[in-house]
Structure 1
Amino acid sequence: MKASFESYTADKNLILKIKGDLIGDESGPRLVELVSDGLQEGIQTCIVDLSQVRYISSSGIGVLITILTKMRNTGGEVYLSSPSEHVKKLLIITKLNNIFHVFDSLEEAINQSK
């Protein structure tokens, strides 16, 4: 299942809700573009809601790292929220849980960004 996503802003946070498989297909560049646009609008934090992501490929990981790099280069931060057990294991195996701030819920991530 290809990834689809919606984005919105709340309290200077860019929220990206991703559904399906994050495999870095055409959705990857579009997600990065949304982050670039958000930065131009003064976004400080990007919260990626992974609650409906079943699978992340190495390209999908690349997309997340690109987003993180863009945000941190401008003093921003990226939070990952609500990863499934499978995605959580992937974050641990790849040691990305040491690079990203991971939260169990979207609310927790939003509260942390204030």
Structure 2
Amino acid sequence: MKFKHQIKNQVLTLSLQGDLIGEDNGMDIIAMINDHIQNGVRSCIIDISGLRYINSSGIGVLITILTKFRNKGGEVCLLKPSENVQKLLIITKLNAIFQIAGSEEEALEVLKAA
């Protein structure tokens, strides 16, 4: 899996591509998230449009990110899940826990309202 990130207006945007299976990248992502949270970032958009597959460890990474932001009074919004990933979010009932948006503008509105 590949990931990249950027910060714009105190919102971290994390883009994930490939398969999120909690490999070494999971720990790298969490470490990067911790650094940004310590620097005052409280909102995160996770662009998952490029994810083909997520396993239970990958779900754990997403939940860890959500927990870290919410513990600091922040919020996370998942952006553009593919059809397969959307089905997984529904089956696991994570669609009730995560904010999900279809566009970056919608995600920013969700984060402003949180």
TM-score calculated relative to the size of structure 2 = 0.94
CA distance in 2, matches of 1:33, 1:56: 20
Extract unaligned runs of 5+ from structure 1.
none
Answering whether residue 72 of structure 2 is matched by residue 71 of structure 1, we say no
CA distance in 1, matches of 2:5, 2:43: 13
- 8 A contact 2:6–2:13 mirrored in 1: yes
CA distance in 2, matches of 1:48, 1:4: 13
- 8 A contact 2:76–2:111 mirrored in 1: no
Q: Which amino acid aligns with 1:10?
A: K
CA-atom RMSD in angstroms:
0.9
Extract unaligned runs of 5+ from structure 2.
none
Q: Which amino acid aligns with 1:74?
A: K
C-alpha displacement at 1:112, in angstroms? 2.7
TM-score calculated relative to the size of structure 1 = 0.94
> Percent of counterpart pairs with the same letter?
53
With 88-97 and 28-37 compared, the bigger mean Cα shift is at 28-37
CA distance in 1, matches of 2:21, 2:50: 14
CA distance in 1, matches of 2:104, 2:24: 25
- 8 A contact 1:44–1:76 mirrored in 2: yes
Q: Deviations over 1:27-77 (max 9, x none)?
A: 101111111111111111111000100100100000000111111111111
CA distance in 1, matches of 2:60, 2:111: 23
